[in-house]
Amino acid sequence: MFAIKLNAIQMENTNQQQLDLIAQMIKTAQRRFYDDSPYYILWGTAVAVASLVQYFLLLAKSEYNALGWAVCIPSALIIQFIIVRKQKGEEKVKTHVESILVNMWIAFGITLFIILFFASKLGLNTYPVVLCLYAFSTFVSGAAFRIKAFVVGSIACWVLAIVGFFVQFEIQLLLLAAGVLAAFIVPGIILRASEKADAVNQ
C-alpha cells in the first residue's frame, strides 16, 4: 500500500516537473519572440504609410499614387537587412515551436508574393485576401506564444477583411492600414515594452 502511494506521489511530481518544463519553454520562447518586435513595427509601419500615401494620392487624382509602395517597401527591406545583420551574432538555438513558426513566416512571405504578383487576377479581392493572410499568421504566432495582442490583432484583420470585400479600393487601403496597425504595429510595440521591462527586472 505504501509503495502504491509512493509511486503515485512520484508520478505526480514527474507530471508537475513536465508541466513546469513546458511552461518554462514557452516563457523562453516568448522572450526570444520579443526580439522580433522591430520586424513587426517596421513592416506594419511600412505597409500603413504606403497605404495611406496611396489613399491620399488617389484622392488628389495623382498618377503616381503607388509612390508610397515604391519607397516604403524597399526602405523596409534595407532596414530589415541591417537589423538581421546586427542580430546574427546573437543567434540562439531555436525550440521546435520557434522553428515551425519561422517556416510559417517564410511560407507567409512566399504566399504574399504570389498574391501580390497575381493581384490583377484577384482584382478588388486582393487586399481582403492579404488581410486574411495577416490574420492567419499573427493568430498562429499569438496562440503559440500566448500573446493576446497578436490574437486580438488577427481577429481585427479578419473583421476588416470581411468588410473589405464590400467596399471600394480606396477604403480597402484604409482597412489595410488599420489591419497592420492592429496586427503588427500595436503588438510589436507591446512586445518591445515587455522586452524592456524584462531587461530591467533581470
Find the domain containing 67 and state its range.
Answer: 37-88+95-201
In a domain, 52, yes or no: yes
Residue 67 lies in a domain: yes
Q: Is the pTM of this model over 0.75?
A: yes
Residue 20 is assigned to a structural domain of this protein? no
Contact between residue 60 and residue 197 where contact means Cβ atoms under 8 Å apart: no
Over the chain (202 residues), the average pLDDT of each successive run of 10 is: 53 57 54 73 95 96 93 94 78 68 89 93 94 95 87 97 96 97 93 66 56
Distance CA 68, CA 60 (A): 14
**Residue the block writes with cell 491620399:** 56
Residue 31: inside a domain: no
What is the reported pLDDT for 60?
Answer: 94
CA–CA separation, 202 and 187 (whole Å): 22
Q: How many domains does the chain have?
A: 1
